[in-house]
Amino acid sequence: MDNFQIETAQNVNILQNVAGVGDRILAYLLDSLIMGFYVFVIILLFSSVHLTDDYFMVVGLTIGLPLFLYHLLWEMLWNGQSPGKAVMNLRVVKTDGSKPAFSNYLLRWLLRVIDITATSGGLALVTILLNGKGQRLGDMAALTTVITEKPIVNFSQTIVTDIPENYQPTYPQVTVFSDAEMQKIKNIFMEARQHGNHHVILKLADKVSSVMTVKLEDTPLKFLDTVIKDYNHFTQNM
């Protein structure tokens, strides 16, 4: 998954996670299913109604207009989301992270004819893959992109830790902790080590050893590292 960094007016850097092509295709298919269901219901309702030519054109325009404006209206009125995008946790935003204006939504919608309709989505797919910011031509012209709002979990943020194949654990008492508790211990430990907060590491080691009812003989840093590895060893081999 691509991502890019933006800088707000307050000089705060934000990492935007660009929506994957697969998610965008699924969102498009879901929206297409909704539009197809709408057409089916309308045909069913009017199948037994006889309309004169004058009324037929009026009704046709009334029925067809929501389909024609589907993406523009949903994204404009629902903060950058269509129903398909909402299901897939996708959202249209400006490349600076702010909410698009009507002109941005309108421009990217107008270029759907070239990006998607005329080329069956082929041009949009190629452009998104080559662009690196999740932009089709309509997005590039409108200065917008589509991001995913799904939480992205890095390996370091999980409870999983690499351990050697023939690892020998030191503290079987680590099984007193739950996965959630060990995850919290690891997160605090990793953050404190990254920022050099040795007093936090010491307090954490004292608390962990107290719960495990073991004597703290190693350095706090080595002790906590061993505890995390031991927990992974026991839970992976249960």
**Residue 179 burial by CB count (10 A; 0-12/13-18/19+): exposed, middle or buried?**
exposed
For 125-136, letters b (16+ CB in 10 Å) and e give: bebbeebebbbb
Q: Which residue has the higher pLDDT, 14 or 207?
A: 207
- Rounded to the nearest integer, the mean pLDDT of the chain is 83
Q: 103: which 2 tokens?
A: 């002109």
Indicate the pLDDT class of residue 160, thresholds 50, 70 and 90: low
Instruction: Assess contact for 167 and 232: CB atoms under 8 A.
Output: no
Q: 208: which 2 tokens?
A: 């962990």
Q: What is the CA radius of gyration of the chain?
A: 27
Q: 225: which 2 tokens?
A: 């590292």
Domain edges within the chain: 3-148, 155-236
pLDDT digits (tens, 9 = 90+) for 50-75: 766 666 677 677 778 899 999 999 99
Tell me if the pTM is above 0.85. no
H, E, C per residue of 128-148: HHHHCCCCCHHHHHHCEEEEE
**Listed range (118-122, 141-145, 150-154) with the worst mean pLDDT:** 150-154
Residue 93's DSSP bridge partners are 145
pLDDT digits (tens, 9 = 90+) for 86-115: 999 999 999 877 889 999 999 999 999 999
Q: Which residue has the higher pLDDT, 62 or 131?
A: 131
Q: Please count the helices (runs of H) and the strands (runs of E) in the chain.
A: 11, 4
Please identify which residue in the block is written with the tokens 């503290």. 171
**Amino acid identity, position 59:** V
